[in-house]
A = this chain, B = another copy of it.
Amino acid sequence: MRVTTPNSPRPSSPGIWDPGAEILVDHSSPMPLYFQIATQLESAIDSGALAPGARLDNEVHLAGRLGLSRPTVRQAIQMLADKGLVVRKRGVGTQVVHNRVKRGVELTSLFDDLSALDQRPGTRVLVNVVEPAGAAVARALDVAERTEVWRLERVRLARSEPIARMCNYLPADLIPLPGDEVLETRGLYQLLRGAGVRMHAARQSIGARAASRAEAELLGESEGAPLLTMERTSYTAAGQVVEYGTHLYRASRYSFDFALRGTG
């Protein structure tokens, strides 16, 4: 997608990186133009071609150079501003942020997180059944009581050591039920994404408590050790519940890192 042009035909002012030279738009692509621009600018920032503090070419120039209207270019840059990658200041310009806030691990799964950290994630499947929903689960999934739901209970391993115990409930008709062997090599969110289920939002609650004897044994901790608890309900864009889960993490081995944005 990104094309590098080592020498700009006309050097721009010192300190101002000229994105026009490295951005190409494809009018025949189904991908929106503003998205094409944003993607390429983001790549430039990720790769360091656009270093922190670098000023972007201004909207009007960039639009002219790309042969696009200003609103389109503006929409692209706004995407980056919303992500916190650049800062816009009226009368000044747009700059790549200095102190980049780590990309929020929003709506990712533990499996993804561990994969990204090269922690060799593994899974032990304890329960993988379809059963009628009890009252609490029915309320959480927003379905009628005794509706068939998919119940999943797993232990997550990293480098062969237990990290978490995860209990999940999902609508039974959401995706074809995978066998245990599939669940052992793929995260739940990975499976959902693969089946075209797209998460859009989630409600999450994080707390802590002391480990019971059984929990301690399962996770390789001692009784009374602090555990992180996480309860999460995930939704599609249409507001349908995708998944309800209650997870238990060893506090000695895991913490939740994330980025927040905007004052609401």
Which A residues are within 8 Å of any B CB, using their own CB? Answer: 71, 83-84, 87, 89, 97-108, 142, 198-210, 224-229, 235, 237-241, 251-252, 254-264
Copies of this protein in the complex: 2
A257 and B204 contacting across the interface, CB-CB below 8 Å: yes
On whether the beta carbons of B87 and A208 are closer than 8 Å, the reply is no
Instruction: Compute how far the CA of A259 lies from the CA of B108 in the bound complex, rounded to whole angstroms.
Output: 13
Q: How far is the CA of A210 from the CA of B102 in the complex (A)?
A: 28
When C-beta atoms are compared, the residue in chain B nearest to A226 turns out to be: B226
Q: Do B205 and A257 have beta carbons less than 8 Å apart?
A: yes
A235 CA to B100 CA, complexed, in Å: 10
Give the residues in chain B near A260, CB-CB below 8 Å.
Answer: 104, 106-107, 201-204
Query: CB-CB < 8 A to A104: which residues of B?
Result: 260, 264
Instruction: Name the distance in Å between A98's Cβ and chain B's nearest Cβ.
Output: 5
Kindly list chain B residues whose C-beta atoms are within 8 Å of the C-beta of A263: 106-107, 198-200
Instruction: Report whether B228 and A101 are in contact in the complex, using a CB–CB cutoff of 8 Å.
Output: no
